[in-house]
Amino acid sequence: MTTRTDRPQRADARRNVEAILDAATATLARDPDASVNDIAKAAGVGRVTLYGHFENRGVLVAAVVARAMQDSEVSLRGVDLSGDPAAALVRLIEATWQVTLRYGALVVAAEKSLPAADLAAAHDEPRERVERLLGRGRDAGRFRADLPVSWLVTTMHTVTHAAATSVYAGELAADQGARAIAATMLGLLTPPGEVVPDLDALRAAG
């Protein structure tokens, strides 16, 4: 008969975990080098409690990233990827950028503290979405077919992260990020011998 005492404890534990994840997300988004102490303080829990739920900083960052990715997935699944593949790509880039801004420097925190393999796994679903769209664009002759699709997907991922890092470094204005990524990708994906589409014309047409 441990139910009566266990239930409130479990509810407390769940609340603590949520509070820690919320605080870690907000704290790391402001400062990717934030310590476990900073996060515990922001969450209003002790270090012992925090370490009871998350063995070390890496485990905590991984959990924060996992939750952020889930939330991002919900946003990205809602993007209309039908019609002209180039216009669809611009819509996907704009939605991806909103997600990137929401989590701010979390991307930087993740890149600094997570093994590359974990980061790659966290990007499986976005990668597949981009891969399908780029494949459709190639079949339609809109995107280049002289380079492997996997390489084009890598450039999309890489250019997006470079934009996030550039904003964090103060080299690019946050509201210019989506434009820089979209303009860059439209050029990068245009087949040799074809004309690079103008981003504004494409937006107006879409």
Residues that bind its own copies (CB under 8 A): 112, 116, 144, 146-148, 150-151, 154-155, 158-159, 161-162, 166, 171-172, 180, 183-184, 186-199
Q: Which is nearer to its own copies, 37 or 154 (CB)?
A: 154
Residues 6+ apart with CB under 8 A from 108: 32, 164, 165, 168
Q: Select 6 or 124, whichever has its Cβ closest to its own copies.
A: 124
CB nearer to its own copies: pick between 42 and 181:
181
Check residue 196 and report its DSSP letter.
Answer: P
CA distances from residue 87 to 70, 79, 113, 185 in whole angstroms, order as listed: 25, 12, 35, 12
Nearest approach, Cβ of 126 to its own copies (angstroms)? 16
**Rounded distance, CA 5 to CA 35, Å?**
33
Q: How far is the CB of 108 from its own copies (least distance, A)?
A: 8
Q: For residue 91, give both structure tokens.
A: 């819509």
- Contact in structure between 132 and 59 (CB atoms under 8 Å): no
> Backbone phi, then psi, for 171, in 5-degree steps?
-90, -15
- Closer residue to its own copies in complex, CB, 16/160: 160
* Single-letter residue type at 163: A
Q: How far is the CB of 176 from its own copies (least distance, A)?
A: 8
**Considering beta carbons, is residue 72 or 113 the nearer one to its own copies?**
113
Minimum separation from the CB atom of position 171 to its own copies (A)? 6
Closest approach, Cβ 133 to its own copies, in A, equals 17
On the CB side of 113, how many CA atoms lie within 13 Å of its CA? Answer: 22
